[in-house]
């Protein structure tokens, strides 16, 4: 067995308690260990991706128990891509948090951060449905801590809402798993795939109930329309660098949908045929529409970006809901793009908030707004999916993949009009924040009003004045993310080829199933 | 026995959801506990209900046994839901102490924040 497979999960799992127990009072050492761990995880995941790139599926049996009985980790092209994406984002966010000093505003940022990374990586690699639940809980419990990092009344209230909602989601997850276990007698994904394919349609009403409940759970995570309402409040009240990390958490939901509904309840499986795609597609279209309207209507920059994240989830889920190899390939390209773009936008929104408060309104001049406004412009182009950045290519791929679908006009109309509304909303916000503030003569601005606005818009408990000299590291991180988006555009060819290969691997799961269950016969 | 377990799961879930819909910290936390009890009982029953049977195979003797896996699942679920309940109690306490309000819906606040902006 190749022990490298489990290394990216074990490493943060060891570093996090070390940070809590040994380095509690040494912020500098915490930072060094946290960055070192993130860099190492990135190296490990890149090595794993190189191993998975040729299409081999690797199975890691924990405790050397063979597959249907023990817990397994599985590394294929899809997991490899997702863990690399996670570790890139994690490194960017941890550097940003250090650069802006967010990590010093509350206790245990770095430990929670490492636990969060561990949970996300685990969720992407596990091959066992119950273990997916456990890793969900690991990443959620770390995210609760990060969500209320630095405190403040509003953040706590949003945090309670977030925790309660996710606890309900977890309970539903257990109900779904229990139902599926009661019917099939297994929770290993490969084993489930075999048993579900063997079942006849008449006997499996209960299994269909379980499949739909599972879809609901993942839809909560992925913020699909009727279940999306936790996201804007949670993300806009969370510390925004943390919200940038949360950009990958909605993708955990999308990944789970993709994994479970291609492998277990795949499009060819008789009992769940049409069960998922037919419901997910309209929901995804509505998600995109509501997200675009939300971008237009947001009055706070945090909410604006949160709704931007919902639009990108909408586009992504449209592509996933088609359940064809071409559409899945487009979805994979779009996952990488939208994660990076949303994270970049959250980081820029954080810098705007640091300088002028959260409101999208004409305000006083901001220090260093020139560079920031250029970055906002680029990030807005990326998030809305305008040319020349990778969002445009991603949307083009999604629309091209939808060409043969019955609802093709609906899909095209929603994506195009949604993009238009999103870009209008972002342009409006950008104009108000960066442009109009220059046009306001000083005499028009009542100093009291400005002072009041500052007090109101900063979240309680972090009334920091605008920094005199902006730190360089956050800008470097933003530029690095921007460069990543540009690279994704330039190397769209190799990236789509990888995505095509991944989609092909997903839609012929025999290799996956045989490798996982092959351990039993060994 | 099946009807007893099934109705217990149903009643616990219904009461839990009712309490969660009260949208105040204390009832919501109680409601979440009830729902997690319901899911624990439900998970326990997914391996078929048996009485007086050990959850272990005996390779020396042919005896009835009950499926051990749901019991392992329930144990994990109990630990996780218990830990999560502790977390939500602490966060709700923090929210109550910092804002003197135990409502968990934010809609009024958000509307006010919008007016201010």
> Whole-angstrom Cα distance, residue A283 to residue A119?
27
pLDDT of residue A519: 56
Can you point out the beta strands (E) in B1-117? none
Q: At what angle do helices A369-384 and A325-356 cross, to 10 degrees?
A: 160
**Percent helix, strand, coil in chain B (nearest 5)?**
70, 0, 30
User: Structure tokens of A514?
Assistant: 């045989």
Q: Do you know the residue count of chain B?
A: 117
Task: Residue A83: name the closest of A136, A9, A193 by CA.
Answer: A9
Q: What is the pLDDT along chain B (117 residues), one digit of tens a residue?
A: 889 999 999 999 999 999 999 988 899 999 999 999 999 999 988 888 888 887 777 778 778 888 888 888 999 999 999 999 999 999 999 999 988 888 877 655 554 544 443
Contact B53, B65 (CB under 8 A): yes
The secondary structure of A18-35, three-state, reads HHHHCCCCCHHHHHHHHH
Q: Which residues of A touch B70 (CB under 8 A)?
A: 178, 181
Q: Is the predicted pLDDT of residue A285 greater than 60, yes or no?
A: yes
Give the C-alpha separation, A175 to A179, whole Å: 6
- For chain A, give me the number of helices (H) and strands (E)? 21, 2
User: In whole angstroms, what is the distance from residue A308 CA to residue A250 CA?
Assistant: 13
- The distance from CA A223 to its chain's CA centroid, rounded to whole angstroms, is 10
pLDDT for residue A408 is more than 60: yes
Of B25, B88, B116, the CB nearest to A456: B116
pLDDT at A503: 94
CA-wise closest residue to B42 among B15, B72, B63, B70: B70
Note if the bond before A388 is cis, omega within 30 degrees. Answer: yes
Q: What is the ipTM of this complex?
A: 0.90
Sign of the torsion angle spanned by Cα atoms A323, A326, A329, A331 = negative
A vs B, Cβ pairs < 8 A, gives 115
d(CA A393, CA A327): 13
pLDDT digits (tens, 9 = 90+) for A346-379: 999 998 888 877 777 766 666 667 888 889 999 9
Cα–Cα distance list, A188 to A131, A196, A426, A510, B56 (Å): 9, 12, 44, 15, 20
Structure tokens at B99: 């804002």
Local confidence band at A430 (pLDDT 50, 70, 90 cut-offs): confident
| CA distance linking residue A114 with residue A84, whole number of Å | 15
Q: What is the pLDDT of residues A185-231, one digit of tens each?
A: 889 999 999 988 888 777 788 888 999 999 999 999 998 888 888 88
| Long-range pairs, A441-445, Cβ under 8 A, ≥24 | A445/A364
Give Cβ neighbours of residue A246 (< 8 Å, ≥ 6 apart): A143, A234, A235, A238
Interface test with B, best of A144, A176, A178 (most B CBs within 10 A): A178
Looking up tokens 């592509």 gives: A319
User: pTM for the full model?
Assistant: 0.89
**Cα A379 to Cα A348: distance, rounded to the nearest angstrom:** 8
CA Rg, chain A, in Å? 22
Taking CB atoms and an 8 Å limit, are B91 and A163 in contact across chains? yes
Task: Give the C-alpha separation, A280 to A274, whole Å.
Answer: 10
**Yes or no, beta carbons of A156 and B20 under 8 Å apart:** no
Q: What is the mean pLDDT of residues A31-45?
A: 95
Are B98 and A151 within 8 A, CB to CB? yes
The pLDDT value recorded for residue A150 is 85
Nearest CA in chain B to A450: B117
Centroid of chain to Cα A192: 26
Among candidates A160, A185, A360 on the partner chain, residue whose Cβ is nearest the Cβ of B25: A160
Q: Flag if B94 and A148 touch (Cβ within 8 Å).
A: yes
Beta-strand (E) ranges in A46-195? 58-61, 72-75
DSSP conformation class of A56 = -
CA distance A145 to A445: 39
Assess contact for A248 and A223: CB atoms under 8 A: no
Query: Using CA atoms, how far apart are residues A176 and A256, in angstroms rounded to an integer?
Result: 14
What DSSP string runs through A162-185?
A: HHHHHHHHHHHHHHHHHHHHHHHS
- Nearest Cα of chain B lies from the Cα of A517 at a distance, in angstroms, of 19
User: How far does the CA of residue B61 sit from the closest CA of chain A (Å)?
Assistant: 22
Bridge-partner residues for A59, per DSSP?
A: A74
Asked if residues A129 and A189 have their Cβ atoms less than 8 Å apart, the reply is yes
User: What is the number of alpha carbons within 13 Å of residue A330 lying toward its C-beta?
Assistant: 26
pLDDT computed for residue A362 by the predictor = 67
């Amino acid at each position: 067995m190749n022990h490298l497979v489990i290394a990216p999960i074990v490493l943060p799992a060891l570093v996090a308690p070390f940070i809590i127990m040994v380095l509690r009072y040494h912020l500098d050492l915490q930072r060094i260990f946290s960055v070192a761990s993130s860099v190492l995880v990135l190296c490990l995941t890149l090595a794993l991706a190189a191993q998975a790139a040729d299409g081999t599926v690797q199975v890691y049996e924990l405790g050397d128990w063979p597959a249907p009985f023990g817990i397994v980790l599985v590394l294929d092209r899809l997991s490899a891509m997702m863990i690399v994406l996670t570790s890139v984002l994690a490194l960017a966010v941890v550097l940003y948090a250090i650069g802006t000093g967010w990590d010093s505003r509350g206790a245990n940022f770095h430990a929670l951060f490492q636990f969060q990374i561990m949970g996300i990586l685990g969720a992407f690699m596990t091959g066992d449905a119950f273990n997916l639940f456990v890793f969900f809980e690991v990443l959620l419990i770390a995210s609760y801590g990060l969500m209320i990092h630095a405190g403040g009344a509003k953040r706590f209230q949003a945090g309670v809402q977030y925790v309660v909602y996710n606890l309900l989601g977890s309970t539903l997850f257990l109900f779904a798993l229990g139902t599926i276990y009661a019917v099939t007698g297994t929770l290993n994904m490969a084993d489930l795939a075999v048993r579900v394919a063997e079942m006849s349609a008449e006997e499996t009403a209960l299994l269909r109930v379980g499949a739909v409940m599972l879809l609901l759970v993942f839809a909560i995570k992925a913020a699909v329309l009727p279940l999306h309402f936790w996201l804007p409040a949670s993300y806009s009240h969370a510390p925004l660098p943390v919200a940038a990390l949360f950009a990958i958490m909605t993708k955990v939901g999308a990944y789970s949908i993709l994994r479970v509904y291609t492998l277990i309840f795949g499009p060819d499986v008789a009992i769940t045929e049409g069960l998922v795609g037919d419901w997910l597609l309209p929901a995804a279209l509505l998600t995109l529409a509501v997200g675009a309207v939300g971008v237009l209507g947001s009055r706070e920059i945090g909410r604006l970006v949160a709704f931007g994240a919902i639009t990108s989830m909408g586009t992504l889920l449209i592509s996933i809901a088609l359940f064809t190899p071409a559409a899945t390939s487009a979805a994979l390209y779009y996952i990488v793009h939208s994660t990076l773009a949303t994270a970049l936008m959250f980081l820029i929104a954080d810098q705007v908030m640091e300088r002028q408060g959260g409101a999208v309104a004409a305000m006083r001049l901001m220090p260093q707004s020139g560079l920031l406004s250029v970055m906002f412009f680029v990030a807005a182009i990326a998030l809305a999916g305008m040319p020349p950045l990778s969002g445009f290519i991603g949307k083009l791929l999604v629309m091209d993949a939808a060409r043969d679908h019955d609802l093709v006009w609906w899909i095209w109309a929603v994506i195009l009009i949604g993009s238009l509304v999103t870009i209008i909303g972002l342009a409006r916000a950008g104009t108000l924040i960066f442009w109009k503030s220059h046009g306001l003569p000083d005499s028009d601005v009542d100093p009291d009003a400005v002072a009041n606005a500052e007090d109101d818009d900063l979240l309680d408990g972090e009334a920091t004045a605008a920094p005199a000299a902006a730190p360089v590291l956050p800008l470097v991180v933003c530029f690095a993310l921007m460069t990543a988006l540009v690279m994704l555009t330039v190397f769209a060819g190799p990236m789509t080829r990888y995505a095509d290969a991944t989609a092909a691997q997903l839609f012929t799961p025999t290799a996956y199933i045989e490798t996982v269950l092959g351990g039993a016969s060994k | 026995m099946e009807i007893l377990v099934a109705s217990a799961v149903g009643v616990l879930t219904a009461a839990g959801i009712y309490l969660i819909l009260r949208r105040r910290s204390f009832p919501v936390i109680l409601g979440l506990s009830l729902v997690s009890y319901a899911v624990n009982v439900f998970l326990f029953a997914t391996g078929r209900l048996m009485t007086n049977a050990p959850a272990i195979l005996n390779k020396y003797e042919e005896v009835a046994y009950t499926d051990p896996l749901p019991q392992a699942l329930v144990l994990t679920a109990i630990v996780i839901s218990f830990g999560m309940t502790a977390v939500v109690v602490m966060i709700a306490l923090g929210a109550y102490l910092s804002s003197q309000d135990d409502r968990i819906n934010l809609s009024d606040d958000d509307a006010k924040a919008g007016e201010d902006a």
